[in-house]
Copies of this chain bind each other. A is one copy, B any other.
Amino acid sequence: MSAQSRTITLETPARQEFFDVTEQLAEFVREAGVDAGIAVVYSPHTSCCVLLQEESEDVTYYGTQLILQDTLNVLATIAPPTRHEGQYLHPGPIHIRNAAELRDELPAWGLNTDGHIISSILGRSEIVPIVDGQLVLGEFGRVYFGDLDSVRPRIRTVHLQIVAG
């Protein structure tokens, strides 16, 4: 039995975007020498998500997989991009004051409420079973990390964890 972990660091743009981390996860499983168990792909960031999805093959001008852009488009109909304060309840005045005084952040950086909500809808982690040393991803399955904060470029961490027998 073992529990091993690894992190991936990503530079993300000032728009909602996804990153394919399938190869890094597969490499981690191979190097961990694990025969059976589960792999967890997890975002410690509260405006990011982790998804399993097929590869669209076609992409947008930005390079986004079409099926992932469709997913963002559908969710934007109920949680539209945050354009200004007051559009959502969050961020409120205490949050904005603390962001400035304690974290040296600009007020506009708090305008990512839609990203937090979509993170809760799409989920912060995925489990992939490991059988016979292989990830059970199906023929077309890919693992994507999504940054749903469209306000500014960020440095993000993806957390990979294997719990194995």
Contact = CB atoms under 8 A, between A and B. Distances in A.
Interface of A: 1-5, 36-38, 40, 42, 44-47, 51-54, 56-58, 60, 65-67, 69-71, 73-75, 77-79, 88-95, 98, 113, 116-117, 119-131, 136-138, 140-141, 159, 161, 163-165
Per assembly, the copies of the chain total 3
A40 to B, nearest CB: 6
Contacts of A124: 52, 126
A58 B92 contact: yes
A79 B74 contact: yes
Contacts of A65: 90
Contact of A71 (B98, B117, B165): B117
Say what secondary structure dominates the interface of chain A.
Answer: mixed
B46 A116 contact: no
A164 B5 CA distance: 12
A90 B67 contact: yes
Contact of A91 (B66, B89, B165): B66
Contact of A40 (B2, B42, B60, B129): B129
